[in-house]
Structure formats: C-alpha cells, structure tokens
Amino acid sequence: MKSKFATTLGLLALGLSAAQGQEVKLNIPGQPAAAAAAPAKPAFSESQLIEEFGWFVGKRVGLAELELSAEEIAIFLKGLSGAAAGKDSPYELEKIGPAMDEFMQKKQAAYLAKLKNKSMAENVAFFAKLKENKAVVELPSGLRYEIVSPGSGPAPKPAETVKVHYTGKLLDGSTFDSSVERKEPAEFQLDQVIPGWTEGLQKLSKGGKIKLYVPPHLAYGDDGRPGIPPGSTLIFDVELLDIKAAAAPAPAVPGAK
C-alpha cells in the first residue's frame, strides 16, 4: 500500500535537498564578517501547520465520505491519539481486520448509494427540462444530442478512428475533462469508448460540432470515475476534426489455419 503521506514526504525530501545544496561561506581572517540577515518571520505558526496536516490526512483517507457521527469521530480520534503516542493497536489486527473491512465497505456502499440517488433525481429533472429545447434530438437508446454545425462528408463508422476536441461537464456545470484545456486533440477508435459517444458521433461529419447529453447507462453507470459521481449524466461539447479509416485486415496466408 502506498503511503498516504507521499506528498508531505516528498516536500520534506525537497527541503533536505535544497539545504544540502546551499552555498557554504567561509569567514577568512582579516576580512569583515558579513552581517547576518534577520530570519524571516514564518508565514504560518506550528499550530496552523499541524492543523493543516490533520486536514490533509483526513482528506486523503476520505474521512468525510464515511459520514461518521459525532460519537464515532470521538472514537476515531481516540484511536488516532493512541497511534500518535506510539501505542500498540488496541485489538489484535488479525482478528479485528475482517470485521473492520466489512464495516468500511458498508460505509462506502451507503455513501455511493446516496450519491447515486442524488444523481438520479438530478437526471430526471434535467431531462424533463431538456425537452423544452426543440433543437435536441432524443434517440431510442436515451441519448440526446444537438447538432451545432453538421460538417461535411460521410459520418464516421464504429471501427474508424476519430480525432476530436471535446469538453465534458457534469450537470452542475463543472468540467471533469477537456482536450481543449489540454490543447491536445484526442484520437480513439469510435467503438472503444462509452456507448453515448459511439452512437452520437455517427450523427456528425468531419468539421462538425455536436453537443451530447449522455445518460448514465450510456456513460459510466453506477461505477463513476474520478471526478464523476455514480449515476451521472454527462454533457459533452465535441468537434470532429478528422476521421481515419479502419485498418485493412491482413491478407490471409495460404495454408494457414
């Protein structure tokens, strides 16, 4: 398991490296010693640094996601204090470990279920409102799309590779991914991405732009992804820059099985 404190340890290592690389100044007899510079006043007090470190640890372990009660937080702090004091585990890890794993899994499942239910309610309200936009087309699969500009020429086929610029957002307007911000177009085979993209980009031609409204069952479903809660509807603004034909199959070798 990787250390939860990798960032802090890395910063400490950088500090040591900087210290080791400092120039050594010698006081040569007969020369006036340089006046010592007054030490700079620390930007933060030690108590502030310790408080921030506590927040950092809690954030990294996902403490908020466990939604502990006030009583449970007090018990958690008791265990943390014991570890800080160098005490041994209050229970035998081999015996309590499986029960602790089960407890944590239940907490996580409850949190994910809460996120999913929240997303479902938001999805229903969003798609009901979207019906008012007459430019939006709804497909039998549940995908909605809006052609911003159609482009020209044939639409891409599932086995072809497309080159695109895109921005993906959640219903709250926050961006979770963007090739535009990275300033680097993305390329991928059309049938190797989420179903909403595979179906939606076949409604577009080279040079065209489309807005995709992808319900969760055509995106990442209940699994979610980093920055994407479970059950999320995703909104993509996509520009189809190029279409590359699928590679021709290798010719059959006579006598080969």
166 is catalytic: yes
* Residue in the structure block whose two tokens are 């950092």: 56
**Which of the following is catalytic: 111, 147, 176, 222?**
176
**Which of the following is catalytic: 145, 166, 213, 228?**
166
Secondary element (H or E) of residue 200: helix 195-200
Buried b (16+ CB within 10 A) or exposed e, 203-226: bbbbebbbbbbbbbebbbebebee
101 is catalytic: no
* Residue in the structure block whose two tokens are 């995106």: 219
- Packing angle between helix 46-60 and helix 6-20, nearest 10 degrees? 140
236 is catalytic: yes
103 is catalytic: no
Report the distance separating Cα 13 and Cα 20, nearest Å.
Answer: 11
**Which of the following is catalytic: 5, 194, 222, 237?**
194
**Which of the following is catalytic: 210, 228, 235, 236?**
236
Q: Is 152 helix (H, G, I), strand (E, B) or coil?
A: strand
**Which of the following is catalytic: 210, 213, 220, 235?**
220
Are 111 and 65 contacting, i.e. CB atoms less than 8 angstroms apart?
yes
**Which of the following is catalytic: 145, 177, 210, 235?**
177
177 is catalytic: yes
Tell me the backbone φ, ψ of residue 255, rounded to 5 degrees.
90, -10
Active site residues: 166, 176-177, 194, 220, 236
